[in-house]
Structure 1
Amino acid sequence: MLKKNKPFLLLTLGATILLIGGGATAYWLLVQRNLSQVNAPAQLIPQDALLTASISTDSEQWEQLSEYGTAETKAALEKQLTQLRNDLLTSNGYNYEKDIQPWLGETAMIAYLSSSSVALPTDTEQAPPSGRSLLPDIIVLPIENPAQAKELLEKANSQKAKSFIERSYKGIRIRETQKSNVRGLSTTVLGRFLVVTNNPKTTERVIETYKGAASVAATPGYIKELSKIGASEPFAQLYLNIPTFSAIAAANSTRAGLPNGALRSQNENLAANQQWQGIAATVTLEREGMHFQGISWLKPNSSQKNAVQNNTSRLPRRLPEETWFMLSGGNLAQFWQDYAQGAESNPLTPIPPVNITAGLQATLGLDLEKDLLPWMGGEFSIALIPASRNALALPENQQSTQLGAGVVFMIQASDRKLAEKSLKQLDEVMATRYQFIVEETKLGRQPLVSWASPLGGVSATHGWLEGNVLFLTLGAPIVNAIVPQPQATLIQNPLFQESVPTKPNPSNGQFFLDVEDTINSSNLNLPQLLSPDQKRLAKAVRAIGVTTAISDERSNRFNLFVQLQKATKPTPSTPTTSPTPTTSPTPTTSPTPTASPTPTASPTPTASPTPTASPTPSASPAPTASPTPSASPTPSASPTPSASPTPSASSSIELERNRNR
């Protein structure tokens, strides 16, 4: 039986994720908690923590993780990890395999607290060095072998006693580093766990939680909901506290231009009014990428309830195989209702509902509630389709060549007569108010209405497909891609089939993005929207797929798959054998910390802890919250954990995973 190595790299998971998965997946990859041990570490984390993440230390999984990404992202991560190893382990005289691995358990947990939950050190020497501001606030390391951990303590006492000071808080001993050129760490041992923090006050909060203060494990729904997303071989699991996230996001948003007192009050109100309690995801590693099983749930006292409608959309079958992007849902009117309902307590709502309704009224003379929503109770989709070269070559389309692709919106009208009335109003507005050329045309036997700007470059077409499905295209000429029904459809596209999960089924929405043909290419002729670092991250991703469903009145489920590139393995270099704790983790089994600071590798995401993601990436807009930045400049990190070169999971396990996805 192969010996398991516990790679020190687990605490740099954040950096790894940013480099292999891109900003959108960064948030999801920081994450895992072994459900068999869910109560223990979570009982040490204060309940108002922003984010908790458990990460496997199984070297076989880390070996598989190291296969993802491009050569560039792998090299960047290697550079970062080498620096971390030198700063945290080697500089303190420790060797991972000899000093840490023998006693470390199977799963470590990290946590980020809200920025206001602990006081920051005033000593400038204790301030976080540049580039390290996103080190975890708390690291919980399971002690699997207390006797070997004690040996490390004895080594620390004899070797570097002058580097630490010891004190006591509520009867629990704490050991802290005393170095002017290194980030200060504070450690204590609570039961069978070594706790490492970057702030003495944080350690005190953990001790208070250990002694009975509210913990993450006591959060309403936490244990119950996470038990629904278990996996046989999870790599990671994450929990995001949505009320805390909402308050932090508000403080960092444009709404924050308020005096401190008013801002504090606003944040408290947002947290109190937030209907959603949490979002969690379990991550498993598969041959072609990373699979996330997720769930979001409402607060127990929430006045909001989900409308349980899972009408799997068939509209993706009407889209051509070459579609680059697609979002579908089961009921547009319900989608809008959920969006409007959650916007008030969501500081990250991209566009306030009132602005949308006012904008439609001002520009098109249409009342969303009266003219549009009454007939929009059916399934819908929006897609981005590349224009064919033949279509772009036509004289009438010459001014559309810069666009490269067109957008098509489809909806199954629940009341066709009302829909046709709205379309006539829209045609009239475009002709009279904006002087567009509006004319009835045909494509084969299909009646169409086209709009053309007198200035050229802007065009649109709308018409009806079988089954009372209305379509509207904008941008490049793509009508011939959907009329008549394409023979090769999106659901037959191998990339779509490999990326978009088939479960949950039935579902109420799907999402697909071909990252290679959109973000990673020049097909769209878009301005430079991404920084060089963000582009590097995106290069590691091939496609992203999501399938969502409403579980019940209180929770939503989703499956997300990130298909990743695989770089050719570089010529193996001589690995260093000491991947990294910061100071001596001196766990003893007693609650009295004889430990000295331990491995604190940081997940150095260059993203802010308050990114944007919604608790349910589904067609129904539950809260848009997310703990990680979209795509933020990433650390120069290096993707190959300096872990043992054990083989990755067997092909039979992978086939079984794919069948269950």
Structure 2
Amino acid sequence: MPESKSKFLVPVISTAIVVAGGIAAYVYFKVPSEDVSSPLGIAKVVPANALMATYINTDSQSWSKLQQFGTPQAQQLVSKGLQDINKQLLSDSNIVYETDIKPWIGGVMIAVLPPNSTIRNPPNPPIPVQPEPNILLVVGIKDKLNALKFATKLKEQKNLQIQESEYKGEKIIASTSKTKSTYMVVLNNTRILLTPEKQAVEKAIDTYKGKPSFANKEGASSILAKGVDVQNSLAQIYVPDYANMAQQLTAFNPQSRPLPPETFAQLKQVKSMVAAVGVDDAGVRMKVVVNLDPQLNKFQYQNTPAKIVAQFPSDTFALVTGQNINRSWQTFLEQSKDYPEIKQGVEQARGQLKQAVNLDLDKEIFGWMDQEFALGAVKSSQGWLANVGFGGAMVFDTSDRKTAEATFTKLDDLAKKQSLNITKRSIGGKNITEWQITQQGTFIAHGWLDQDTVFLAIGGPVGEALADKKGQPLDNTNTFKAVTSSLQKPNGGYLYLDLENTSSLITRLATQGKPLPLETNAVLSSIRGLGVTVNSPDKSTSQMEMLLALKPSSSK
């Protein structure tokens, strides 16, 4: 090869090698070599004995969806809250989340581990100490280069004392400030372990080295893999053994008594649970999936037709609906056989009701409540309700009108003995019975809305609204549709709260007429309402869905 060519090729080849090496290093630092940011990937280094784990999604796109809701004041309040949390967590350093942590952090899992069985270097004489659960944070690294920069900056903090030790070939970095100590381990440049307890980080290293993990634990692996389907997931919670978790967390609390065997047996009906919180166009949505033991589950779930909602007026701001109270009562009685205190209370209630009103609690109260039912609170400024701003109503569908009528007749007789005026009148073509108090008007009203539907209202104006049906029904209002229309169907009923149209009532009840604090008012002004429902596709699964319906951002 001519000398001139060799002088040209040597620097070119050298430059190519340097460039290739730089690209390889960049790819190594930038691209994780394995799944380290998903719930299943992070859970591989969480010890199998973890009682529960919460996964937090750090994807900024999901969190940014919250910005499409709320007033500017509410958004400023949320931003300030996040800034305050940042200051508290990083109070002893000049670390800033947005610039130092956000660029490299993947998903975060917070695991709750059982307390340490032994205490290192115990005092002499020993002092009784209530065991506390260990908290382990596992952080996925999605950008190794920025994570390396963060580690370098962390070591340069002057107000932190840094000590390094080794456990099974992994370096443990202990950082101590004026207020707390933290143990940190970087596993293969893919995950960071953080915990205030050295034993917890050692157990996590054992897991990384091959000990059983939360990811392959029976009950946990399936719920980690499936998760819960929500849009723009913010966080997910995993509980693989619900009864064991409840028992151990109760034992951690010094103010709690140990769970009785009967209670623990009831809890064992729930095998595992997974929940998720996400953001969609309607607001913040939470879904919970509970896996039940079909052999232990005594409750017989029923879907409701949800037709009873139409019986309530548009001024109804709170509502609970369901199906077949009588069946739920029978299930409660069966389960209470193992609880002497509850069983005794039920017997006392039966005896007192029989003696006072000559009513059979099982047959004449719950026996005819065998169809759909609803309990609601209705705004009203008329009569004596003006003092509180609302009244109440109970509506029941029944297949046993004869027994229901006999029950209300006995109640009317009791009211007469209490010197109440019992009157009857027609409202909207329906015969209504009213209990009236002198100079205050109707206290209780009841009657039949159709052949199979009976109501009992607290406050005459509420009874009139139910019977007359002049206005728009609740299920046709914009707020009810916005809060409940996207909830799963069919379902077992609704819990519904209208916060958009009751701000004045909330102010009156909560502050006795004084203005709400600016922060509280900003939050309430951003919420339309709350909707919750439950369904059960089979005897081994129960699902709950909750929607916090939010108003679109007024800054758009």
Same fold (TM over 0.5): yes
Quote the offset at 1:411 in angstroms. Answer: 1.1
Report the equivalent of 1:544. Answer: 530
Q: Which of the numbers 311, 322, 326 marks the counterpart of 2:304?
A: 311
Aligned mates of 1:249, 1:352 — CA distance in 2: 24
- Amino acid corresponding to residue 313 of structure 1 in structure 2: A
Asked if 1 retains the 8 angstrom alpha-carbon contact of 2:428 and 2:469, the reply is no
Asked if 1 retains the 8 angstrom alpha-carbon contact of 2:135 and 2:196, the reply is yes
Q: Which of the numbers 188, 192, 195 marks the counterpart of 2:185?
A: 188
Quote the offset at 1:565 in angstroms. Answer: 4.3
Asked if 1 retains the 8 angstrom alpha-carbon contact of 2:219 and 2:272, the reply is no
- Amino acid corresponding to residue 183 of structure 2 in structure 1: S
Q: Which of the numbers 527, 539, 542 marks the counterpart of 1:553?
A: 539
Q: Which of the numbers 528, 550, 553 marks the counterpart of 1:564?
A: 550
Report the equivalent of 1:409. Answer: 394
- Counting only pairs closer than 5 Å after superposition, residues 480-499 of structure 1 correspond to structure 2 as 480-499=464-483
Structure with more contact order per residue of length (Cα contacts < 8 Å, sep ≥ 6): 1
- Amino acid corresponding to residue 229 of structure 1 in structure 2: V
Asked if 1 retains the 8 angstrom alpha-carbon contact of 2:183 and 2:197, the reply is yes
Aligned length: 502
Asked if 2 retains the 8 angstrom alpha-carbon contact of 1:452 and 1:460, the reply is yes
Asked if 1 retains the 8 angstrom alpha-carbon contact of 2:113 and 2:133, the reply is no
Report the equivalent of 2:424. Answer: 440
Aligned mates of 2:249, 2:74 — CA distance in 1: 29
Gap change, CA 1:245 and 1:420, over 3 Å in 2: farther
Percentage of identical aligned residues: 23
1:478 aligns with 2:462: yes
Gap change, CA 1:386 and 1:355, over 3 Å in 2: farther
Quote the offset at 1:63 in angstroms. Answer: 2.2
What's the secondary structure of 1:238's corresponding residue? Answer: strand
- Amino acid corresponding to residue 317 of structure 1 in structure 2: A
Unpaired runs of at least 5, structure 1: 1-33, 124-133, 571-661
Asked if 2 retains the 8 angstrom alpha-carbon contact of 1:248 and 1:267, the reply is no
Aligned mates of 2:165, 2:362 — CA distance in 1: 64
Report the equivalent of 2:140. Answer: 142
- Amino acid corresponding to residue 186 of structure 2 in structure 1: V
Aligned mates of 1:505, 1:374 — CA distance in 2: 28
Deviates more, 1:402-411 or 1:331-340: 331-340
What's the secondary structure of 1:426's corresponding residue? Answer: helix
1:283 aligns with 2:280: no
Unpaired runs of at least 5, structure 2: 1-34, 123-131
- Amino acid corresponding to residue 194 of structure 2 in structure 1: V
Aligned mates of 1:541, 1:135 — CA distance in 2: 36
Report the equivalent of 2:405. Answer: 420
Report the equivalent of 1:7. Answer: none
Asked if 1 retains the 8 angstrom alpha-carbon contact of 2:393 and 2:458, the reply is yes
Q: CA RMSD in A?
A: 4.2
Greater C-alpha Rg: 2
Asked if 2 retains the 8 angstrom alpha-carbon contact of 1:517 and 1:523, the reply is no
- Amino acid corresponding to residue 52 of structure 1 in structure 2: A
Aligned mates of 1:36, 1:312 — CA distance in 2: 42
Gap change, CA 1:334 and 1:117, over 3 Å in 2: farther
- Counting only pairs closer than 5 Å after superposition, residues 122-133 of structure 1 correspond to structure 2 as none
Q: Give the TM-score taking structure 1 as reference length.
A: 0.65
- Counting only pairs closer than 5 Å after superposition, residues 333-344 of structure 1 correspond to structure 2 as 333-337=326-330
Report the equivalent of 1:227. Answer: 226
Aligned mates of 2:287, 2:312 — CA distance in 1: 27
Aligned mates of 2:255, 2:149 — CA distance in 1: 54
Aligned mates of 1:257, 1:458 — CA distance in 2: 47
Quote the offset at 1:446 in angstroms. Answer: 0.9
Q: Which of the numbers 486, 489, 493 marks the counterpart of 1:509?
A: 493
Gap change, CA 1:122 and 1:292, over 3 Å in 2: farther
1:40 aligns with 2:30: no
Deviates more, 1:556-565 or 1:315-324: 556-565
- Amino acid corresponding to residue 65 of structure 2 in structure 1: Q
Aligned mates of 1:39, 1:317 — CA distance in 2: 45
Aligned mates of 1:376, 1:239 — CA distance in 2: 37
Aligned mates of 2:537, 2:36 — CA distance in 1: 20
- Counting only pairs closer than 5 Å after superposition, residues 189-338 of structure 1 correspond to structure 2 as 189-190=186-187, 192-210=190-208, 211-213=210-212, 215=214, 218-220=217-219, 223-224=222-223, 227=226, 229-231=228-230, 233-240=232-239, 242-243=242-243, 246-247=246-247, 263-264=257-258, 266=259, 270-271=263-264, 273-274=266-267, 275-299=269-293, 303-337=296-330
1:367 aligns with 2:374: no
Gap change, CA 1:540 and 1:523, over 3 Å in 2: closer
Quote the offset at 1:73 in angstroms. Answer: 4.4
Deviates more, 1:549-558 or 1:71-80: 71-80
Aligned mates of 1:209, 1:323 — CA distance in 2: 54
Aligned mates of 1:524, 1:89 — CA distance in 2: 37
What's the secondary structure of 2:233's corresponding residue? Answer: coil
Aligned mates of 2:41, 2:362 — CA distance in 1: 50
Report the equivalent of 2:18. Answer: none
- Amino acid corresponding to residue 540 of structure 2 in structure 1: R
- Amino acid corresponding to residue 54 of structure 1 in structure 2: Y
